[in-house]
């Protein structure tokens, strides 16, 4: 009887790991499907205003890839987007996959998905059950699903905040690693959303 209880105790972490992996794989698959699709009708009211801002964040990157200069019209109003994390990642993805709306949306999906997974990984370091519940709640959140598919600055902010949370939860007792946390705070302020 004692052997059965011991065997059951050994199986539970494996079952949680399998459950966690299946949920994560489904989450990533859902996020990567139909990257060129529009948001649900009337999601933001009567208009489709959700699509007016996101692609401004990749404006400088797109111009640099297509024309060799980031700002061919010398328009200083949108310069805040030039040095964002979304611009950096979209530059790399535009080099690999070409300039398109799907590639720009892939930038957002990678950042928002990475942010959610880093947050859950930081939470999982202390307790796996709340991490799984949090993951289920975050992947079923329609707002995160819709807004996480468009290259908004907030997706870069979500990723950097989650990375900061992960580093802090992992290294909060280590003095030298707190310096890395401070650098991440500065990056979050400068490259996330001002």
Contact criterion met (CB below 8 Å) for 101 and 149: no
pLDDT digits 0-9 by tens, 86-95: 999 999 999 9
HEC secondary structure over 27-84: HHHHHHCCCCCCCCCCCCCCCCHHHCCHHHCCHHHHHHHHHCCCCCCCCHHHHHHCCC
* Exposure letters 91-113 (e unless 16+ CB within 10 A, then b): bebbeeeebeeebbbbbbbbbbb
pLDDT digits 0-9 by tens, 24-51: 898 889 888 888 887 777 777 776 678 8
16 confidence band (pLDDT: 50, 70, 90): confident
Q: Is the whole-model pTM more than 0.75?
A: yes
Token pair of 92 as six digits: 């790399």
């Amino acid at each position: 009887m004692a052997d059965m209880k011991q065997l059951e105790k050994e199986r539970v972490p494996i079952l949680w790991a399998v459950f966690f992996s299946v949920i994560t794989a489904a989450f990533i698959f859902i996020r990567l499907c139909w990257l060129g699709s529009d948001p649900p009708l009337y999601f933001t009211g009567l208009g489709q205003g959700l699509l007016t801002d996101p692609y401004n964040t990749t404006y400088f990157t797109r111009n640099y890839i297509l024309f060799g200069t980031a700002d061919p019209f010398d328009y200083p109003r949108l310069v805040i987007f030039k040095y964002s994390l979304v611009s950096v990642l979209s530059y790399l993805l535009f080099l690999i996959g070409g300039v398109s709306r799907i590639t720009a949306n892939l930038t957002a999906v990678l950042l928002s998905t990475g942010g959610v997974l880093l947050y859950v990984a930081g939470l999982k370091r202390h307790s796996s059950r709340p991490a799984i519940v949090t993951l289920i709640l975050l992947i079923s959140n329609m707002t995160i699903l819709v807004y996480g598919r468009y290259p908004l600055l907030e997706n870069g902010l979500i990723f950097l905040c989650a990375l900061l949370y992960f580093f802090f939860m992992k290294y909060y007792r280590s003095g030298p690693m707190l310096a890395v946390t401070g650098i991440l705070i500065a990056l979050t302020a400068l490259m996330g959303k001002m």
